[in-house]
Structure 1
Amino acid sequence: MSGYDGPTLRAIRESMGVPLRRVARQVGMSHGHLSKVERGEHGRPITPAILSAYEKVTGVSLAEAAAALAEQRESVVGRRGRTWRPGQLTDMRRLAFNAAIGAIAIGGQIGEPLGRLLDTTGRPVPPIVPDQGDVEQLHHFGELFTQLDLRFGGAMTSQLAKTILRWAVPMVEPTSVYDRDAQPLYGALGALAARAAWAAFDTGGHEAARSLFRLALFCAVRSGDPHLRAHIMADAAAHHNHLGYHDDALDVIRVVEGDERVAAPVRMAIHGVKARAYAASGAVATCRRHLELAEHAFTETPPVAPAWVVSLRQSGHLHATTGHALAVLAEHTGAAADRQEAIRRLAQAVADFNPDSHARAVALCQAKLSELHLQAGELEPGEWWGRQALAGLDQVRSARLARSVGSVRRAAGDYPEETRMAQLTSEIDAALITAEQPYGG
């Protein structure tokens, strides 16, 4: 029954002066179980038998109480003339609450664990029939989590996004059919799940990321948005690339590569992912071709597309994507020209990105620049870029960044006789040990 939950049942019972043990006797359940029902604990559902018991012992029609809450009515008149109104308290509970907030206001303790206090608020209840306002709020959450992820890394973003998804997914759970009326809702959920997947990947929660990529793709397909569908596939392929599954990355990305509806900024991302996969596989010519295709997609006329698609068309994205791919390619070719071009593009990406909004991307580029310089024996710029990346680790909670800084440490470790390299490696070791790395998948 919608409109109230465990805490509301408790409020009705206490306002009527009914002890919990009387309800327990009526329904034939333990006092402890009903206490957890009233706190809204997971796995403690409000069954019809429980509802019936509360109605009998309180004399208040719970259907009427639910309607009163929904309609913001002043009061409900139950059987035997007993009345109840939303928010009603017994004198004892009212005085106890006033005493509690008075004590807390002057530095006193709450008197119970904070987690249990939150349990008393009940479980999240999503709207059964979402409206346009719900969809718009989910879109805003997706935009907020994107900003947080790009700025601070995926640690907190992953947890917050999954919490919102657990609340929102029941809105589409009853059906998986294609429903045009539900497309905006699926689009909002798909974008939110895609960001949650990327944030989980960024924290090293790879199994969580795979589950979230599946959820994101499911929603994107039902939203009818070809750009979102393609971008999620590109992100899933990038995840494969990161883990060394380059053939799988190419297999995944080929599913959407031929979709002519996909806007140029998303195609730029697709070609960037493929370039990196081919670079890692040693397919030099094919890698270079996809680098050119990414650049061509960037130069195309800005599309008439959703704002998030247009936002992908940034020179920083282009230079970072192609620069990282060229860095991988240089490992195979051994060509100084490839290494220098990778350095040029990554340095340009650092210059293009706003560090206040893309701190993780900046730090990842800085770490790769340090590694490239150190591998070439260029210690001064290698040390400078390494320290820049190390500074980013203080603010960005990202397993990917920690791994990249670890690569800088290994490159610096090749010069043990150099005092400044020894100092850099010790500072990196200390940072990687003491940094509070992501909260898990």
Structure 2
Amino acid sequence: MTGQRNTRLEALLSEFGYTHEQLADAVNRAAEELFGGPVNCTDRQVRRWIAGEVQWPWARYLLPLQKVLGRSPQEMGFIPRKTSRVPAPPDRSASAVQQHPIGRREFIAASLVATLGLDFIPSGGRLGVSDVERIRAIVPSLYKYDHSLGGGALHDVASEALRHVQSSVNHCTYGDRVERMLYSAMGDLAASAGWFAYDAGRQVDATNLYNEALQAGMLSGDGMLQARVWSNLAMQARLLDRDREALRIGRAAVETRQAKSDAWLMALLHCRQAVGHARTGDRTRAQRSLARAETAYERTRGQPAAWLSFLTPAELTGLAGAAHQALGQYRRAEQLTASALQMLEPRFERNRVYYTVQYAQALLDEGDIEHAAAQAGEAITLAGRVQSERVQSKLGDLQGNLRHHMRVPAVADFLEQTRQKGA
């Protein structure tokens, strides 16, 4: 018999950013500390508590719940029976977050998962177009945070969402048309999870996810998805210092029918090819690719796909700066990167750190060491919220390059400040 819904417990889950599954896991971890072993709490039990089917859980659940949420049973919305033994109230001198500190990444992940609507995607029965639309909505929701937080905060969230969708696809029924739509949506999510993994420095995970996205793109016949994955694979190859391979992959993406019909994608591909040509010392091809990127961008209309929403004039200018820097044209790189930073919208926090580092490096390469140190300090300050191993690695390289100039007082001060901060 279902009782009255436990809205207090439901509100606490929302307050602490727990999904049903995550609360169950937290209860099991707390039980191990209390009893020396797990109590096999599941998300199903959490749902029963919230639905009011269980008005007073067993003590083996109540005690860990108190430890996790920092509330008495009644404050959690449970109703004692006459024979119920009320456990001792928790120590209110420490909050639940203090007792079980949740890292920033885990807290963000917990909060995000709760907003993605995964519980509304069926795990059985028949899937329809409305279910595909729910899956499609996951990626734009994630990218709202990617620009500010970086992939380190989102990789686990996207991977969990992908597993949920894959389970639905494997256990539900649907028609041929919906099947193609499902694989396209699932591939979009896999490609996004791959990008977050790439940004987080988890390249093995990124490769596996890109492969899943490519397979989904072929099964759905989604050429745009395939071109997107090829573009990301080219970026990954470049990150791993496989520049020739990156150029070959990028060229394959440029030549696809989908890229030729989508000006947004074509502009991005040509920008990335420009950086690739510059890194191999081919100035002529780099300049040609930059010109083609500008031409393509002039043809863009409407709004880009969610994953392309970072492609603004600031981004194109910043990538042009990266190309000139790779060619050794440091003065031009400095000018372009400074311009990119001026144009960059506040929501692009990660890219602001990225281009601030690029700006500092261009200044350093040009010999303006004091100004470079000042910009490096600005990048350290801005980097506090961003969880991007890619950006942190770039920042680490800059710090290493500045160490060659430790006799310059501004550099010495910068390095001492970063040492004290543990940056």
TM-score of the two chains, using structure 2 as the length reference: 0.70
| Superimposed CA distance per residue, residues 110-156 of structure 1 (whole angstroms, 9 cap, x where no aligned partner) | 9xx999xx9xxxxx895233333332232222112112121111112
**1:142 and 2:114 matched:** no
Work out which of the residue numbers 338, 344, 348 in structure 2 matches 1:353: 344
CA shift at 1:291, angstroms?
1.4
Residues 231 and 312 (structure 1), Cα distance of their counterparts in 2 relative to 1, 3 Å cut = farther
**In the alignment, does 2:77 pair up with 1:101?**
no
How far the C-alpha of 1:240 sits from its partner, in A, is 0.8
- The residue aligned with 1:222 is 219
Given residue 149 of structure 1, which amino acid in structure 2 is its aligned partner? D
CA deviation after TM superposition for structure 1 residue 184, in Å: 2.6
Q: Does 1:394 align with 2:402?
A: no
RMSD: 3.7
Note the alpha carbon deviations across 1:370-427, whole angstroms, 9 max, x for none: 0111122212431232122111221111111111111221232222211111111233
Q: What SS class does the counterpart of residue 102 from structure 1 fall into?
A: coil
- Aligned with 2:331 (options 336, 340, 365): 340
Cα offset, 1:164, TM superposition: 0.8
1:101, 1:40 → 2: CA distance? 19
Superposition pairs of residues 97-246 of structure 1, within 5 angstroms: 101-102=73-74, 108=90, 127-128=123-124, 129-173=126-170, 179-246=176-243
Alpha carbons 2:151, 2:197 under 8 Å: kept: yes
Cα-to-partner distance string for 1:239-277 (whole Å, 9 max, x where unaligned):
111110111112222332212332011011111221122
Q: Contact 1:155–1:397 at 8 Å: present in 2 too?
A: yes
Cα distance between partner residues in 1 of 2:147 and 2:308: 16
Residue type at the aligned position of 2:74: G
1:90 to 1:107, Cα distance in 2 relative to 1, 3 A:
closer
Cα contact 2:370–2:410 (8 A) shared by 1: no
d(CA) in 2 for partners of 1:384, 1:37: 54
- Structure 1 residues 103 and 265: CA distance shift in structure 2, 3 A: closer
Equivalent of 1:372 in 339, 343, 362 = 362
CA contact 1:151–1:359 (8 Å) conserved in 2: yes
The equivalent of 1:271 in structure 2 is 270
Matched to 1:405, the amino acid is L
Describe the SS at the equivalent of 1:394. Answer: coil
Give the corresponding residue for 1:257: 254
How has the CA–CA distance of structure 1 residues 268 and 392 changed in structure 2, closer, same or farther, with 3 Å as cutoff?
Answer: same
Q: For the residues of structure 2 that align with 1:200 and 1:91, how far apart are their CA atoms? A: 41
In the alignment, which residue of structure 1 is the partner of 2:81? none
Alpha-carbon distance in 1 for matches of 2:318, 2:176: 38
Amino acid at match of 1:102: Q
Identity among equivalent positions (%) equals 22
> Judging changes above 3 Å, is the alpha-carbon distance between structure 1 residues 89 and 179 closer, same or farther for their aligned structure 2 residues?
closer
SS state of the match for residue 414, structure 1? helix
**For residue 417 of structure 1, what is the aligned residue in structure 2?**
407
CA separation in 2, counterparts of 1:225 and 1:87? 45
AA at the equivalent of 1:181: V
Deviation at 1:161, TM superposition (A): 0.7
Q: 1:306 to 1:252 in 2, by over 3 A?
A: same
**What residue identity is the alignment partner of 1:271?**
H
Closer/same/farther in 2, CA of residues 199 and 91 from structure 1, 3 Å limit: closer
CA displacement 1:37-78 (0-9 Å, x = unmatched): 97459xxxxxxxxxxxxxxxxxxxxxxxxxxx9xxxxxxxxx
Paired with 2:304 and 2:373, the residues of 1 have a C-alpha distance of 41
* Alpha-carbon spacing, 1:407–1:181, altered in 2? closer, same or farther (3 Å): same
Kindly provide the amino acid, as one letter, of the partner of residue 207 in structure 2.
R
Q: Partner of 1:57 in structure 2?
A: none
Q: CA offset at residue 363 of structure 1?
A: 0.7
Could you tell me which amino acid in structure 2 is paired with residue 270 of structure 1? L
Amino acid at match of 2:325: A
Contact 1:266 1:309 in 2 (8 A): no
Q: Is the counterpart of residue 288 in structure 1 residue 287 in structure 2?
A: yes
How many residues are paired up?
Answer: 338
Structure 1 residues 306 and 352, CA gap change in structure 2 (3 angstroms): closer
For structure 2, list consecutive stretches of 5 or more residues without a partner in the other structure. 1-36, 67-71, 78-87, 103-109, 111-118
Find the counterpart in structure 2 of residue 62 from structure 1.
none
Paired amino acid for 2:141: L
CA 1:92–1:290 in structure 2 vs 1: closer, same or farther (change >3 Å)?
Answer: closer
C-alpha separation in 2, matches of 1:349 and 1:133 = 40
Give the TM-score normalised by the residue count of structure 1.
0.67
- Larger RCO: Structure 1 or Structure 2 (Cα < 8 Å, ≥ 6 residues apart)? 1
Counterparts in 2 of 1:212 and 1:417: CA distance versus 1, 3 Å:
same
Separation in 2, partners of 1:178, 1:279: 48
> Which residue does the alignment assign to 2:244?
247
Give, in angstroms, the shift of residue 224 of structure 1. Answer: 3.6
Q: How does 1:57-68 map onto structure 2 within 5 Å? A: none
Which sections of structure 1, spanning at least 5 residues, go unmatched?
1-34, 42-68, 70-85, 119-123, 331-337, 436-441
> Match of 2:403, as an amino acid?
G
**In structure 2, what is the Cα distance between the partners aligned to 1:245 and 1:271?**
18
Structure 2 vs 1, CA of residues 92 and 144 (structure 1 numbering), >3 Å: closer, same or farther? Answer: closer
What residue number does 1:46 align with?
none
DSSP-derived class of the 2:374 partner:
helix
AA in 2 matched with 1:155: G
Deviation at 1:343?
1.6
Change (3 A) 1:179 1:374: same
Q: Offset of 1:215 from its aligned partner? A: 1.3
Q: For the residues of structure 1 that align with 2:310 and 2:56, how far apart are their CA atoms?
A: 59
* 1:385 match: 375
Contact 1:409 1:424 in 2 (8 A): no
Q: Tell me by how many angstroms 1:89 deviates.
A: 5.2
